[in-house]
Structure formats: C-alpha cells, structure tokens
Amino acid sequence: MIRYAIGEFSRIIGTNTRMLRHYKGIGLLFPDCVGNNLYRYYKENQIALGLLIAKLISIDVLLKETLMVLESAREGNPPRKKS
C-alpha cells in the first residue's frame, strides 16, 4: 500500500496541509497514521475521498453538510434533510 506524506497528499487532492489538519479536527478525513516524526500519512485509497471533499467544497457545500453526508454514508444510511 502506498502512503503519502501530508504535503504530497494535499497537492494530489488540491488543498493545503492546514485544511487537511482542519478536516481531521472536525472528523472529516483522518490520516492513516502518524509517523515517529509526527508527519501525517495518507493511504492511496484515501485519494478518492479527499478529491470528493475538495469537489464538494469547490461547489460551496458547507463542511458540516459534507461531514453529515459522509457520516451517513459510513453508517450506510442516506442523509436526511433537517426540518
């Protein structure tokens, strides 16, 4: 399995490292692991998720809405509209 350091991963998905740290902080996208050097590493199979998040943000989907959709998908439930 290929792993990418945070800087390389951020370039691949078209965001910056600060945003990737923010995504982790809000529970949106977690690094696969943190090395002894405290670098965050992401797996190759996380690229699609990173690109999806970047695309949603580029079309002005709010981070909390993106998080809600991804949490629902992880649980296998369709997202529900708030009343």
Per-residue pLDDT tens for 20-56? 999 999 888 999 999 998 889 999 999 999 998 888 8
First-last CA distance in the chain: 43
Question: Following DSSP, what letter does each residue of 21-64 receive, concatenated?
Answer: HHHHHTTS---SEE-TT--EEEEGGGHHHHHHHHHHHHTT--HH
Please give the CATH number for the structural domain made up of 3-75: 1.10.1660.10
Is it the case that residue 64 has pLDDT exceeding 70? yes
The pLDDT assigned to 14 comes to 94
